[in-house]
C-alpha cells in the first residue's frame, strides 16, 4: 500500500484511462479503473497536467497486454481528494443505511528509479481499506467505483491516428 503521507483534501489528482479502463465503443472511462485496492493517480500540485500526461504516455503507449490489447493512453479524469474520500461514506444500496465496507485514503507514493517505470514524483494512490479494520487493504466495491468514475469524469485524448482528431468530454450524468 501507499508509502507516503496523506494528501491534502483540496488537492486535485488525475487518473489515466487505458485498456482495460477505457471503453472505445462509447469513448469513455470504465468503472474497472477504480476497483482495485490501490488505484494510481498523479497530483496536479506537484506536476502540471501536460507533464503528467507525458509520464502516462511514456509508461503505457507501445505496451501490450498478453492478449495483445494495446495499453495506449486513451483519456484522463480528474477529482479532488476530499470528494474521492467521501464516495465511501454513503450507502451504495438505496435500501440500506449502511455505508460500504470500505474507506478511502489518498496518499503520496512517488515513483523514483523503479525498473520499468518512468519517474513520477507526483504519483499517489487511492487506497481502499476495510471499514472495520483500517489496516486491512480492501478492493474498492463496484458501487463505490462507479461513483468514482462519475466523480472523475473522462476526457478522451486526441487520437494520434491519421484522419482522427475527435476529443470528447464526459461525466456520469
**Domain assignment of residue 40, yes or no:** yes
**Domain assignment of residue 5, yes or no:** no
Residue 116 · residue 59 · CB < 8 Å: no
Rounded Cα gap, residues 148 and 44, in angstroms: 18
**Domain assignment of residue 168, yes or no:** no
Residue 107 has pLDDT above 50, yes or no: yes
**Domain assignment of residue 164, yes or no:** no
Q: Is 28 helix (H, G, I), strand (E, B) or coil?
A: strand
Q: Is 142 helix (H, G, I), strand (E, B) or coil?
A: helix
Residue 164 has pLDDT above 70, yes or no: no
Place of cell 491519421: 162
Residue 147 · residue 126 · CB < 8 Å: no
Residue 37 has pLDDT above 60, yes or no: yes
Q: Output the CA torsion sign for 87, 53, 137, 107.
A: negative
**Domain assignment of residue 171, yes or no:** no
**Domain assignment of residue 36, yes or no:** yes
**Domain assignment of residue 42, yes or no:** yes
Residue 10 has pLDDT above 80, yes or no: yes
**Domain assignment of residue 172, yes or no:** no
Question: What confidence score (pLDDT) does residue 169 get?
Answer: 47
| Residue range of the domain that includes 134 | 12-158
Residues 6+ apart with CB under 8 A from 60: 16, 18, 71, 72, 73
Number of domains in the chain: 1
Residue 165 has pLDDT above 50, yes or no: no
Question: What confidence score (pLDDT) does residue 115 get?
Answer: 87
Question: What confidence score (pLDDT) does residue 158 get?
Answer: 82
| CA distances, 25 to each of 28, 29, 30, 31, 34 (Å) | 8, 11, 11, 15, 19
* Model pLDDT for residues 54-104, shown as the tens digit of each residue: 999 999 999 898 899 999 999 999 999 999 999 999 888 778 888 999 999
Rounded Cα gap, residues 105 and 7, in angstroms: 8
Amino acid at each position: 500500500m501507499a508509502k507516503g503521507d496523506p494528501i491534502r483534501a483540496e488537492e486535485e489528482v488525475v487518473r489515466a484511462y487505458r485498456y482495460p479502463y477505457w471503453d472505445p465503443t462509447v469513448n469513455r472511462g470504465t468503472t474497472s479503473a477504480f476497483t482495485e485496492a490501490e488505484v494510481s493517480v498523479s497530483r496536479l500540485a506537484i506536476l502540471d497536467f501536460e507533464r503528467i500526461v507525458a509520464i502516462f504516455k511514456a509508461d503505457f503507449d507501445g505496451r501490450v497486454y498478453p492478449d495483445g490489447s494495446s495499453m495506449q493512453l486513451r483519456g484522463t479524469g480528474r477529482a479532488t481528494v476530499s470528494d474521492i474520500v467521501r464516495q465511501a461514506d454513503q450507502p451504495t444500496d438505496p435500501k440500506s443505511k449502511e455505508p460500504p465496507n470500505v474507506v478511502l485514503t489518498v496518499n503520496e507514493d512517488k515513483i523514483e528509479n523503479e525498473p520499468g517505470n518512468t519517474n513520477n514524483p507526483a504519483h499517489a494512490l487511492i487506497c481502499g481499506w476495510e471499514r472495520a479494520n483500517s489496516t486491512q487493504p480492501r478492493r474498492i466495491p463496484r458501487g463505490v467505483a462507479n461513483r468514482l468514475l462519475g466523480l472523475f469524469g473522462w476526457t478522451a485524448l486526441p487520437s494520434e491516428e491519421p484522419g482522427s482528431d475527435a476529443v470528447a468530454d464526459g461525466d456520469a450524468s
